[in-house]
Amino acid sequence: MNAASPARTMRIGALLRLIFSCDLRSLALFRVMLAVALLYMAAVVAPDLTAFYSDAGLLPRAAQAEAQPFGRFSFLMLSGSPWAARLVWFALVLSALALVVGWRARWAAFVAWLAMLSLAGRNGLIAQGGDILLPLLLFWAMFLPISAVFSVDAALADEDHRDAPPAFSAATVGLLLQATYVYVFGALLKTDPVWHQHGSAVWLAIHLDTFATPLAHWFRQFAALTFPLTLFVFVIELLAPCLLFFPDARLRVRTATLALLAAMHVGFRLFLNIGHFWLASLASLSPFLPGAVWDARSRRYWREEDRRIAIWYDRDCGFCLKVARLLREFFLPRCVPIRPAQEHPEIGPLLEREVSWVVEDGRGERLLHWEAVSFVMRRSLLLRPLGWLAALYGAVGLGRPTYELIGRSRKGLGRLSALLLRPAPVLYRPGRATSILLSLVVIFCFAWNLREHFAEGRGGSGQGGGAAMLAVPDPLRLAAGALGMTQRWGMFAPNPALSDGYPSAVAAFANGRVLDLFADPPGPPRAERLLQEAVMGAFPSYRWRKYFNNIAFLPEPERTARFADYAGWLCRRENARAAPEARMETISIAFHGARTGAGGRREPFDWRIGVFACPR
């Protein structure tokens, strides 16, 4: 029996490595998709930084601290200035761009993590699932080799990492498990019969006018199809861990499951305006993509003649070598050699005579100057549009002058590249102490999700039963909450919302004008309600929809207080740019909604929130 123990241990280790390893190319995809989700989120909130994240906006810091006294860490709780919000936003955008190209990627993930925590922790009234998921993904990204492939870091690395094995560590375990929590614990929180008995959850969701896209309005006529779609969503979420970690040798079950989950998320976005959560979810799934998929795709992606390309550079120009490596990393197969031109009896004199690098294509033809640049950039199918732009740039006569300008500036560019483009290790593996710490985080996140499940079973009280067994000491709970580790995946749980709506904000001005400031553009008060298909378009963004539907269904007097904050913000915004005789004096706010009643009928309602006077 003792003799069999090592063999059994090896089999268990091999099994764990199979299901918890991440291919380096999959981690590169994860890095890029994570950045795309961050940039999308940043673009949406860009016009509303003052409104959402400053004391001059909708939720002063004192009100946020009162509503969520033990929330996420946020630099924006230290300053209520609009400039602080812009600075954090700018840091998020820059770090996301660094993640896209893979420049100092792990440090970029750290900066993005802090920025996301700061934005998500500043205003709980506009928070959504993507704001919980993105910081968690960024946390694990800090401890993974996310820039080992398709990155600036990889292009400049001194170490040979092209044949490195898949990443396997406590961080890969934590990342992959975290991705499954969204599904399985989200499914366990969907306790209403509309999910697993009546099968009407999808029907209810697409009838929420503030969520429903034009495609959802069209799809409402096919009510019978919503029953199997509801069961599909519930079952695939519930079984996601079993399917994603199914240990077949080539992970075909995992690959098929990824396709189904990706289709589900794309379907969510086509039918429902759910913000950036779907992008964050797709990013969380990308590390699961098996290496066999990349191997099969790579054989078809690069043509044989692309593999025969060679690049020759000036041996005395370090900047030239870095540029050649960067172009190879993003536009060419990894096997393409980069050699000093001086080592070739014909190409060396050609480089000296033409003052140009030399690219040999797959047929032996030698290309120079900007023509070589555009040729290389057109080799990659994924990035070929950039190659077309480069070719167009050269066709209009700008390519050669630009190339010559770069050539004349090689010394200055060399000094700049020495500062910004320094080699950095890319095959990061956590040390023992870090691995122990990350393992504790893995255990905590799993236990917290279990706690939320048991708490839901007790009506959200968190008392007794399994929740009591998983009680978290207050210091640990506060620290975990501040760092973004606490989580709950309650989208459309226990059931989709039955009520939603939109506001009107009718302002009376000193000069006698009366306008609804919520209308776009502001105009006379409407005598009629918005048509169902126009409700979603009434909101400037999904953040505003989240804000209004959050505050509209708060208990009194908090609801009136939050709408008073909105009225005060409108007063400050309008009167700051108005002449004294045209200043706003009062705002009358109402909320126009609809609820799903008996038999599935949508029953409209109108709430008069109040009339608020603008301060003089």
pLDDT tens digits for 476-535? 888 998 899 999 998 898 999 999 999 999 999 988 899 999 988 888 898 888 988 889
pLDDT given for residue 69 in this prediction: 59
CA pair distance 290, 22, nearest whole angstrom: 7
294 C-beta neighbours (distance < 10 Å), count: 18
Contacts within 8 Å (CB) and 24+ apart, 247-256: 247/15, 247/18, 247/19, 249/18, 250/290, 250/292, 251/18, 251/290, 251/292, 254/288, 254/290, 255/289, 255/290, 255/292, 255/293
CA pair distance 217, 233, nearest whole angstrom: 20
Each residue's pLDDT tens digit, 559-602: 999 999 999 999 998 888 888 888 999 999 999 999 987 667 88
Query: Is a pLDDT exceeding 50 seen at residue 464?
Result: no
Higher-scoring residue by pLDDT: 469, 104: 104
Query: Is a pLDDT exceeding 80 seen at residue 616?
Result: no
Phi, psi of 587 (to 5 degrees): -130, 130
Query: Is a pLDDT exceeding 60 seen at residue 614?
Result: yes
Each residue's pLDDT tens digit, 296-354: 888 888 888 999 999 999 998 999 999 999 999 999 998 899 999 999 999 999 999 99
Sheet of 584-596: strands edge to edge?
Answer: 514-516, 499-509, 584-596, 602-613
For the record, the structure tokens of 113 come out as: 């993590």
CA pair distance 327, 495, nearest whole angstrom: 50
CA pair distance 596, 60, nearest whole angstrom: 34
Q: Is 59:52 a contact under the CB 8 Å cutoff?
A: yes
Say which DSSP state 496 is in.
-
* Domains along the sequence of the chain with CATH: 16-292+431-482 (no CATH), 303-420 (3.40.30.10), 499-613 (no CATH)
Q: Is 287:179 a contact under the CB 8 Å cutoff?
A: yes
64 Cβ neighbours under 8 A, 6+ residues apart: 71, 77, 122, 123, 124
For residue 464, the cross-strand partners are none
Q: Is 213:60 a contact under the CB 8 Å cutoff?
A: no
Query: Is a pLDDT exceeding 60 seen at residue 230?
Result: yes
Q: Which of 16-25, 82-91, 573-582 has the lowest mean pLDDT?
A: 573-582
Each residue's pLDDT tens digit, 45-79: 999 999 999 999 999 888 887 767 567 889 999 99
- Asked if the peptide bond before residue 494 counts as cis, ω within 30 degrees of 0, the response is yes
Q: How many residues in total does the chain contain? A: 616
296 C-beta neighbours (distance < 10 Å), count: 11
pLDDT given for residue 262 in this prediction: 97
Say which DSSP state 614 is in.
P
Query: Is a pLDDT exceeding 80 seen at residue 372?
Result: yes
pLDDT given for residue 462 in this prediction: 43
Percentage of the chain exceeding pLDDT 70: 95
Instruction: Report the chain's mean pLDDT, rounded to a whole number.
Output: 90
Taking alpha carbons only, the member of 74, 78, 148 closest to residue 117 is 74
> Could you identify the residue written with the tokens 């918005």?
530
Q: Which of 1-15, 114-128, 583-597 has the lowest mean pLDDT?
A: 1-15
CA pair distance 522, 536, nearest whole angstrom: 17
Q: Which amino acid is at 447?
A: A
pLDDT given for residue 423 in this prediction: 86
Phi, psi of 612 (to 5 degrees): -120, 130
Q: How confident is the model at residue 424 (pLDDT cuts 50, 70, 90)?
A: confident
Is 276 strand, coil or helix?
coil
CA pair distance 12, 14, nearest whole angstrom: 5
Query: Is a pLDDT exceeding 80 seen at residue 470?
Result: no
pLDDT given for residue 457 in this prediction: 54
CA pair distance 261, 379, nearest whole angstrom: 31
Q: Is 487:127 a contact under the CB 8 Å cutoff?
A: no
- Can you tell me the mean pLDDT for 279-290? 97
Sheet of 338-340: strands edge to edge?
Answer: 338-340, 310-313, 358-360, 366-368
> Could you identify the residue written with the tokens 């600075």?
87
Q: How confident is the model at residue 201 (pLDDT cuts 50, 70, 90)?
A: very high
CA distances from 46 to 57, 280, 358 (A): 14, 19, 44
Q: Which amino acid is at 19?
A: I
pLDDT given for residue 37 in this prediction: 97
Q: How confident is the model at residue 463 (pLDDT cuts 50, 70, 90)?
A: very low
